[in-house]
Chain A
């Protein structure tokens, strides 16, 4: 319950400062007029407009009254007015906010539009009307301020109660037959109390500043009464001769503004729950040792385009560091298409992003080797990466609805930042048109001038693919490139990708949860589980029957042509482990039918099995013992 969060407030310097300031203001408001009230009002003709001295610490005003005493005395009036205006706004706001519930939809819409217009009116304008009606004065100003703030609270209440009305616990409470009154006090009130409290605190500060400006203009407190704004207004004409009279009330307004502003922010922070990853990020990344070099590491690898050895990726979270990629090694040759498969949370996407250096900058990416065409990627700074690698590595992202910039035309997004800048932009456009055409997008020329929201999801996905192809990259990293597409388009897109790699020898690393997609596209498959590679094998070997029980299970969950439609697909029981979970042995042990004691204590490492496969399993299966779907 949110209530306890407020109670749990610890003492950070900000909280302490906010509390001290607000308490001091309240105390002053209570005792100020008692102690300094007389001194503040009594004119002293013998000491008119005197500069600060021992007797008058902040000087005297044009009637000889002590400025400090006046400022301290004015605390009460300034504060009471601000609190009063806010209280008025809360009450009126609650009424306005509750109205639509009673009056139905039509009224609701009219009211919403009235609130919008109303909200645009600054307090000064409202104050003009109330002043005409009631004459200038403190009450008039408070009413104006309250009326100005009303729509803010009205809308807040409306939003909050609307959210609660349909919430689970209120529905539950209703089903349990809890009385309306009890529903309100036990469920509704505690849940809207916190945000309302934050708003109130912030608005008291705002009201204080606004009311002081009204008094300053002569619309608020009238002589002989005074608040801070009025003091400033009175001091203004004499600002050249006795500037000190402005200092104290000015400072008081600022301090009060800061006090309530801070207090509001502190409350809002507590209400939001202050767990931010920021704090965790300050603890150093755990320096866990990288995995043992994979088989074949350090071998003659000049032929490889991309070599990754023992990649480890960690991210800071509220609770510490999480490790989505624990130990990944892989290698790509020019023209080769390699698939990375695994369930969500296996670390496959993070691996792909880490290779392209597109993971969050707070994370830690380490590896024994991260080599692209003879360049050590890990050693490059961001600008070196831009210069030396540039768009030789291109990325196709998975979600077409979020990875295209909604504010830029398709054409811009396709043609920008190409290596031959300065070259003919028309050339780039022609190429874009060709690519879109090849990906079977209708009217490609028109599309270039359109914004992403004018295209369908499938078209947008193909635009993302075209974007990666524009640069003629040597390596295309594709993260679930076809998930958003229907089967026919998917097939076509995969074929285009395949052709492209075939034609100009670029390599592709394709990440997918769908092992079926990968078998039709790739020559080799890397299977990931819980941040590690558990098996790497050629597609042929895969179709012969993989050695790792997890790969088998993935294959068995594939629909095939002879799958009966009614029969549910085999899904792997259980869930993959959470990235922060420490795992001693094989991560798959909890779900593996072949698991034995050794699996739970010792981590199996990748070892060469057959000619074109390596597997990390203590009890690997032998090929051809089972075929997909007929297993178990």
Chain B
């Protein structure tokens, strides 16, 4: 996923904190009336989500209407007879006044209608319905694998390289993760197709027929983001290991596992979850790349076909699905972070 989101993650947002995500940051009040503050936060955050959704939906409408001249002409091509174009326009309701179109479009969305294909007249929902679960399965698995790899690797490396120890390991870790981030998922995917399709055919490289066919696409999606998150987890881990409460824990002569798993790990959670949210958002879109490489019958695959067919109603509909997913993921992560934050605000901020 490095490609789709590479730059985000290279550049941790300078002030990602209570103020701008709107978490309940007022520690005094949160101690006195946590429930009220909490619900106000959830409501405000949900309101913002609705706002974002409305903006995206409207942008999608405007963009599709303005699309490089006439979407129908674009889709049917310059040779299509005017009568066919007019007929198709009427079918799609494009001959109505703009405000009617907008109202119909919004009304349709509320009923789960994402529009219809310009080329085939097939409802976009039909395209989405069968394919979305396939894409989501890829993305969810990839996020899971990423976290399962990156967090333990990052924390372990942090423990081993803390206080400037093991220079060699630190260099190796930085080199390996740096290299992995420079290989975008579609490239890694192509490499995997060559490796497992030609040289060592033990895993399926196309389609989604068996459980085994998940392995390579998920690997291609998870590897680049694992490298990025492992780096962040290490830095975060080093920060936590240097905290005073870790010394308190050491003074109790706890077993090593307890020391790091119980005392260090939970304190890395906020940072890791923030990142996991960004990763998940990026992963949703990155599936499109990997689906293309592995012939995965997901949403991205349909999207690419629609783009090359210039069927912008489908492109717009799928874009809306992606955008909605991303906005919902953000809402979910923010609420989750706020929940975790409720108990740590006073000490951490």
Contacts and interface: CB of A to CB of B under 8 A. Distances in A.
Interface string A61-97: 0000000000000000000000000000000000000
A217 B312 CA distance: 16
B315 A397 contact: no
A465 interface: no
Contact of B281 (A115, A120, A199): A120
Contact of A199 (B11, B194, B262): B11
Contacts of B253: 385-386, 389-391, 417
B347 A207 contact: no
B11 A403 contact: no
A362 B347 contact: no
Given A129-B63, A131-B307, A278-B167, A246 B194 contact: yes
Contacts of A254: 179, 182-183, 187
Contacts, number: 278
B67 A407 contact: no
A408 B2 contact: no
Contacts of B13: 119, 152, 155
B40 interface: no
A289 interface: no
B213 interface: no
B250 interface: yes
A217 B292 contact: yes
Interface string B321-338: 011001101100000000
B245 interface: yes
Contacts of B94: none
A122 B4 contact: yes
Given A129-B319, A254-B187, A213 B4 contact: yes
A253 B179 CA distance: 11
B20 A116 contact: yes
Contact of B7 (A120, A125, A135, A206): A206
Given A399-B244, A405-B267, A407-B344, A113 B48 contact: yes
Contacts of A416: 252, 254, 258, 262
Contacts of A413: 248
A262 interface: yes
Nearest to B246: A405
A259 B282 CA distance: 23
A345 interface: no
Given A113-B48, A125-B319, A261-B182, A218 B304 contact: yes
A321 to B, nearest CB: 14
Given A133-B67, A408-B262, A207 B184 contact: no
B348 A406 contact: yes
Interface stretch (A99-107, A331-339, A446-454): A446-454
Interface stretch (B85-93, B109-117, B146-154, B283-291): B283-291
A264 B174 CA distance: 13
Contacts of B197: 239-240
A452 B347 contact: yes
Interface string B1-16: 0111111101101110
Interface size class of B (residues with CB under 8 A): 35 or more
A375 interface: no
B186 interface: yes
B31 A403 contact: no
Nearest to A243: B194
B266 A408 contact: yes
A416 B249 CA distance: 10
Contact of B181 (A213, A219, A257, A362): A257
B134 interface: no
A265 interface: yes
B184 A159 contact: no
Contacts of A203: 7, 10-11
A276 B255 CA distance: 30
A374 B57 CA distance: 76
Interface residues of A, number: 96
A253 to B, nearest CB: 6
Contacts of B190: 232, 235-236, 239, 246, 250
Contact of B11 (A132, A202, A391, A404): A202
B130 interface: no
Nearest to A116: B20
A395 interface: yes
A526 interface: no
A197 to B, nearest CB: 13
Interface stretch (A300-308, A353-361, A624-632): A353-361
Interface string A235-266: 11001100100100010011101100110110
A58 interface: no
Contacts of B83: none
A123 B8 CA distance: 10
Contacts of A261: 10, 178, 181-182
B31 A361 contact: no
A117 B20 CA distance: 11
A417 B15 CA distance: 37
B68 interface: yes
B164 interface: yes
Given A119-B8, A250-B190, A406-B245, A454 B286 contact: no
A212 interface: yes
B21 interface: yes
Contacts of B326: 120-122, 125
A453 B343 contact: yes
B319 to A, nearest CB: 4
A253 B184 contact: yes
A522 interface: no
A263 B253 CA distance: 43
Given A212-B184, A391-B253, A404-B248, A417 B21 contact: no
30 contacts: A113-B48, A115-B20, A117-B330, A119-B8, A120-B277, A122-B285, A123-B285, A131-B307, A132-B316, A135-B68, A149-B7, A202-B10, A206-B6, A206-B10, A210-B4, A213-B186, A213-B289, A218-B307, A254-B182, A254-B183, A257-B183, A257-B184, A276-B164, A356-B251, A385-B253, A417-B258, A451-B343, A453-B27, A453-B344, A471-B252
Interface of B: 2-8, 10-11, 13-15, 19-22, 27, 31, 48, 52, 59-60, 63-64, 66-68, 74, 162-165, 167, 178-179, 181-187, 190-191, 193-194, 197-198, 243-245, 247-255, 258, 262-263, 266-267, 269, 277-278, 281-282, 284-286, 288-289, 292-293, 303-304, 307-308, 310, 312, 315-316, 318-319, 322-323, 326-327, 329-330, 343-348
Given A124-B288, A250-B191, A257-B181, 6 more contacts: A122-B4, A124-B285, A209-B2, A246-B190, A276-B164, A403-B247
The 4 closest A-B pairs by CB, nearest first: A453-B346, A257-B182, A206-B7, A278-B164
